[in-house]
Amino acid sequence: MGPIARAMVGLAVAWGWLGSTAPAGAGPILSTGPYTITLPTGDKFEVAGNVTTGGAGYVYTYTVTNLNEGLRTFELGIAESPSLYGKYSESNPQVTANLGQLLRDKGPEISYGPGVHNYVFSLVLNGHRVGIPVGYKGTITMSFEDPHRPVLADWTLRERFPHTQFKHNTQANLGRLPAPTATPEPTTLTLAAVGIGGLGLGAVRRLRRQKAEA
């Protein structure tokens, strides 16, 4: 590949990378699950997550379906990207029929070491976490908005009633759910594009000098 061709490829890669870091068009951009998680007593739940563009930038949505006969209460914990610890960039949390809320810096714990920061959807009554109620084959939808792009993160499902039990996705050999992650600042991306473009233009100039000297 000649210098000019390499320069054009470099510019294309730069602009392609810039485009990949910008918000995508309307519609889902990431969807994972549904995963069936089996707790130690044999109770089963189905968990899924997806991300769409909109709101503050991206809308993160999670669903939990009760596959057991009778009422259950649960908590869904999602490990936040370490790049966003303490920034609290989530907004507009919603839970089906307002039967719960988004908690921060709470368990179910996921083993990421000291200072782990988790999102946890639960229901708090009289100062006690009791979990979000869901009937047989019922589905609870939980969501929040965030300006940061998604990354796949570990998660935990905890049943509060009738049994207190939990399981991490890694224990169940299941995949991950989306959570926000920090992205490079636009100025950083622009400098990167200019740098790559500069390398390509330098190659073009060298080729012209070589021809002039020949």
Domain ranges of the chain: 23-183, 184-214
How many residues would you count in the chain? Answer: 214
Instruction: Scan for tokens 């057991």, then name that residue.
Output: 68
Architecture of domain 23-183: Sandwich (2.60)
Task: Indicate the pTM of the whole model.
Answer: 0.73
CA atoms of 160 and 79, how far apart (whole Å): 19
**Predicted pLDDT of residue 13:** 33
Confidence of residue 88 (pLDDT cuts 50, 70, 90): confident
Please answer whether residues 144 and 92 qualify as being in contact, where contact means their C-beta atoms are separated by less than 8 angstroms. Answer: yes
Please answer whether residues 145 and 90 qualify as being in contact, where contact means their C-beta atoms are separated by less than 8 angstroms. Answer: yes
CA atoms of 163 and 40, how far apart (whole Å): 10
Can you tell me the mean pLDDT for 52-81? 95
**Predicted pLDDT of residue 23:** 43
Look at residues 148, 140, 130, 158 and name the one whose alpha carbon lies nearest to residue 48.
Answer: 140
pLDDT exceeds cutoff 50 at 9: no
Strand extents, DSSP E, 39-86? 44-54, 57-66, 72-79
Can you tell me the mean pLDDT for 64-77? 96
Can you tell me the mean pLDDT for 136-148? 97
Confidence of residue 185 (pLDDT cuts 50, 70, 90): very low
CA atoms of 160 and 41, how far apart (whole Å): 13
**Predicted pLDDT of residue 98:** 87
* Residue 64, phi then psi, degrees to nearest 5: -130, 125
**Predicted pLDDT of residue 21:** 35
Can you tell me the mean pLDDT for 47-74? 96
